[in-house]
């Protein structure tokens, strides 16, 4: 990406918090000057006494290349490309490793307190592989994209009306190479793209790919916000992965962490010896629960840093959406804090009003700058209007994770089936608020770690009941209003919790039941995507109706989904191991039902009870419906029917 020099107005917008492309002029960029290729370095450090550029190219001598401070606290320097080019000394820099080291740099900052500190470039486009943490020169203008058709079509899509079936994954542990070698982005692409296509996923969500120093943080403690992590290769290899996914018709969502950052020496903390990105008051800056620092959303430069970063991934990496991590932490001043550890806002409340403004402005900027791109909030409270338009007082997100539904349904399926009748509200209560926001139903990585058990192991009973119960759960999840998200490994019944240091247990597909579950999830995914009734109307009662909602004694729920026109899919779910051979479900009109998917089929590992003929509605009232019919409802199973409405 070539240097785009800022005029006075752009500089002012950066300091005011209105800049959406600060990465254009801050950081390290190639620039042509009098026919010579050079690199332009810019870093904001308003209270630094001195700033120098250091690296292997100058023997890390902080006296060699001092930077010049501009009137607004930005330090700048321009150096010839030859200084970083291995051709300057072919013998010394003959190896790729030596050549890369030559293009590594940091800022040596004489801080306000008189101490020197070495910082990575906050806007650096690449960083060294951990445990090193220097920034690396990288021109992002060189990759040739091949997804123009996808990017154009995305502008016209209405996300709320589209199928969204998200495969959440951690790039380092999905699959590995020989001897446990971590695959690079390009190698992952060659395996991941056909897998997602075959399985029928519409979206993939990557846990953070921004550079982070500690593997165990899973990417949620970021040190290089503009740098794709070197664990999996180069920035262009990540672009290749996204490009290939787009060409295969699969959208890409990145987890993004705008709430907090770690205290590493090379990072943002006290960047020039004073708080630049965090609040000056420790009660507003510290997140004791995580040992990190919170961004100061009242500081214009910090807001421009984050806003530009969001737009950077959407524009420069063609990402289709960002899932904002820990939004509750941003919205509430007292989140995760004890009395005395936080300060109320000017009205005496606990809402972070600066964060609210930041989120609203950022979501408006994404809508304006990147048509068709989405933002998703991981927000775990009842904060109102998260997905409502900013003009209506909302935060402006496209979607919000439905944490209440997730907690209810997982606590329900953990019960022995004999006790589920006493907790029937856990599978029905979510419809009391299902249309208050645009929701994603998340079975995420957070639910299969920290002794919570894998998706399979959450179910009680023997092995048959575990697999049958999981198939039933996935059926209910797929027919419930809301977009879908499943963490990797859940599709084939990973037995153990997710581990962040080794690949998924793909060997399980060589054993019985696991490939059957995978086959069922594949069929379920394709049904969801191909039937508009399953996904088109997720935001109102026009797309959903209970058929049987009160049968707590038998722990059954039956629903009908509609595309808002003439398409209907009905589904009945039995959460007990007792089969019901003549189970009557209500129907809102005269119709015929044809079974199209049954989780109890033998090919999916079930007992093979199914409805083999077309079923006809009878004029027998059932739960306030004028019609009904009897179906075969297998044990611990979800059964789907295509509904053909009869003309009067």
Q: What local confidence, expressed as pLDDT, does residue 94 receive? A: 84
Catalytic residues: 325, 378
The per-residue pLDDT of the chain, averaged, comes to 97
Q: How far apart are the first and last CA of the chain?
A: 64
Q: What is the pLDDT of residues 245-294, one digit of tens each?
A: 999 999 999 999 999 999 999 999 999 999 999 999 999 999 999 999 99
- Rounded to two decimals, what is the model's pTM? 0.96
Q: What is the pLDDT of residues 315-347, one digit of tens each?
A: 999 999 999 999 999 999 999 999 999 999 999
Q: What is the pLDDT of residues 371-400, one digit of tens each?
A: 999 999 999 999 999 999 999 999 999 999
Task: Please provide residue 330's backbone torsions phi and psi, each rounded to the nearest 5 degrees.
Answer: -75, -40
Residue 250 and residue 201 in contact, taking contact as beta carbons nearer than 8 Å = yes
| Residue (of 4, 28, 2, 267) closest to 136 by Cα position | 28
**pLDDT of residue 93 exceeding 90:** no
SS3 314: helix
DSSP letter (8 states) at residue 499: -
Q: For 403-536, where are the E strands, in sequence order?
A: 439-443, 483-487
Q: How confident is the model at residue 193 (pLDDT cuts 50, 70, 90)?
A: very high
**pLDDT of residue 408 exceeding 80:** yes
Q: What is the pLDDT of residues 14-27, one digit of tens each?
A: 999 999 999 999 99
Q: What is the pLDDT of residues 154-183, one digit of tens each?
A: 999 999 999 999 999 999 999 999 999 999
Q: Residues of 197-232 as b/e, b for ≥16 C-beta within 10 angstroms?
A: eebbbbbbbbbbbbbbbeeebbbbbbbbbbbbbbbb
Residue 85 and residue 91 in contact, taking contact as beta carbons nearer than 8 Å = no
Domains and CATH numbers, the chain: 8-136 (2.60.40.10), 541-645 (2.60.40.1180)
Mean pLDDT of all residues in 345-350: 96
Angle at 276 between CA 273 and CA 280, to 5 degrees: 85
What's the rounded Cα separation, in Å, for the pair 542 and 547? 14
**pLDDT of residue 99 exceeding 90:** no
What's the rounded Cα separation, in Å, for the pair 244 and 237? 11
What's the rounded Cα separation, in Å, for the pair 234 and 375? 25
Computed on alpha carbons and rounded to an integer, the radius of gyration of the chain in Å comes to: 27
What's the rounded Cα separation, in Å, for the pair 393 and 385? 7
**pLDDT of residue 528 exceeding 80:** yes
What's the rounded Cα separation, in Å, for the pair 308 and 100? 27
| Residue (of 331, 333, 313) closest to 321 by Cα position | 313
SS3 61: coil
- H-only helix segments in 480-513: none
- Please identify which residue in the block is written with the tokens 């039933």: 472
Residue 419, burial from CB neighbour count under 10 angstroms (0-12, 13-18, 19+):
exposed
Dihedral in degrees, nearest 10, Cα atoms 548, 551, 554, 556? 30
**pLDDT of residue 648 exceeding 80:** no
CA within 13 Å, CB half, 562:
16
What's the rounded Cα separation, in Å, for the pair 260 and 352? 14
Q: What is the pLDDT of residues 577-599, one digit of tens each?
A: 999 999 999 999 999 999 999 99
Mean pLDDT of all residues in 118-131: 97
Residue 109 and residue 50 in contact, taking contact as beta carbons nearer than 8 Å = yes
């Amino acid at each position: 990406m070539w240097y785009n020099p800022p005029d006075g107005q752009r500089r002012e917008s950066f300091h005011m918090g209105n800049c959406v492309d600060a990465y254009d002029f801050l950081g390290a960029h190639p620039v042509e000057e009098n026919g010579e290729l050079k690199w332009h370095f810019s870093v904001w450090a308003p209270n630094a006494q001195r700033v120098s550029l250091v690296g292997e190219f100058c023997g890390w001598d902080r006296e060699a290349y001092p930077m010049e401070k501009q009137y607004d606290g930005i330090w700048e320097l321009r150096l010839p490309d030859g200084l970083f080019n291995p051709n300057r000394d072919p013998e010394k820099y003959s190896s790729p490793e030596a050549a890369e080291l030559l293009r590594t740099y940091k800022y040596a900052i004489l801080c306000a307190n008189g101490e020197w500190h070495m910082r990575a470039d906050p806007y650096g486009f690449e960083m060294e592989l951990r445990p090193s943490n220097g920034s690396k020169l990288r021109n992002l203008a060189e990759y040739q994209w091949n997804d123009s058709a996808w990017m154009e079509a995305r502008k016209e899509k209405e996300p709320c009306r589209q199928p969204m079936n998200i495969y959440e994954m951690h790039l380092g542990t999905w699959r590995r190479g020989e001897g446990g070698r971590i695959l690079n982005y390009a190698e992952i692409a060659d395996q991941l793209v056909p897998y997602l296509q075959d399985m029928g996923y519409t979206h993939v969500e990557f846990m953070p790919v921004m550079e982070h120093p500690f593997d165990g943080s899973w990417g949620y403690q970021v040190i290089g916000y503009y740098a794709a992590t070197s664990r999996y290769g180069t920035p262009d290899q990540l672009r290749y992965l996204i490009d290939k996914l787009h060409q295969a018709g699969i959208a890409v969502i990145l987890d993004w962490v705008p709430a907090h950052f770690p205290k590493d020496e090379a990072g943002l903390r006290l960047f020039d010896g004073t708080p630049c990105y965090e609040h000056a008051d420790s009660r507003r800056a510290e997140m004791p629960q995580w040992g990190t620092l919170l961004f100061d959303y009242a500081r214009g430069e910090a807001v421009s840093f984050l806003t530009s970063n969001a737009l950077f991934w959407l524009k420069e990496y063609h990402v289709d959406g960002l899932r904002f991590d820990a939004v509750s932490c941003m919205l509430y001043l007292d989140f995760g804090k004890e009395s005395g550890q936080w300060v109320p806002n000017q009205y005496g409340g606990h809402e972070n009003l600066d964060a609210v403004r930041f989120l609203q402005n950022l979501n408006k900027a994404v809508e304006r700058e990147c048509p068709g791109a989405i933002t998703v909030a991981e927000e775990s409270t009842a904060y109102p209007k998260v997905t409502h338009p900013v003009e209506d007082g909302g935060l402006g997100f496209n979607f919000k994770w439905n944490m209440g539904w997730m907690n209810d349904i997982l606590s329900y399926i953990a019960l022995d089936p004999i006790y589920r009748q006493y907790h029937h509200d856990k599978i029905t209560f979510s419809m009391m608020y299902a249309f208050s926001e645009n929701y994603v139903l998340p079975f995420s990585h957070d639910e299969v770690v920290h002794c919570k058990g894998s998706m399979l192991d959450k179910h009680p009973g023997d092995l048959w009941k575990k697999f049958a119960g999981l198939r039933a759960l996935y059926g209910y999840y797929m027919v419930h209003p809301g977009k879908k998200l499943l963490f990797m490994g859940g599709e084939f019944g990973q037995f153990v919790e997710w581990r962040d240091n080794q690949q998924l247990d793909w060997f399980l597909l060589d054993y019985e039941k696991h490939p059957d579950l995978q086959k069922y999830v594949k069929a379920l995914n394709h049904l969801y995507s191909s039937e508009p009734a399953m996904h088109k109307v997720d935001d109102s009662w026009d797309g959903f109706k209970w058929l049987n909602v009160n049968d707590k004694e038998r722990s059954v729920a039956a629903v009908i989904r509609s595309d808002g026109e003439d398409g209907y899919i009905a589904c009945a779910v039995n959460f007990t191991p007792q089969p019901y051979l003549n189970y009557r479900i209500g129907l809102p009109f005269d119709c015929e039902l044809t079974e199209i998917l049954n989780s109890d089929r033998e090919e999916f590992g079930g007992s093979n009870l199914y409805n083999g003929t077309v079923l006809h509605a009878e004029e027998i009232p059932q739960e306030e419906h004028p019609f009904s019919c009897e179906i075969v409802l297998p044990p611990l199973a979800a059964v789907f029917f295509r509904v053909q409405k009869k003309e009067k």
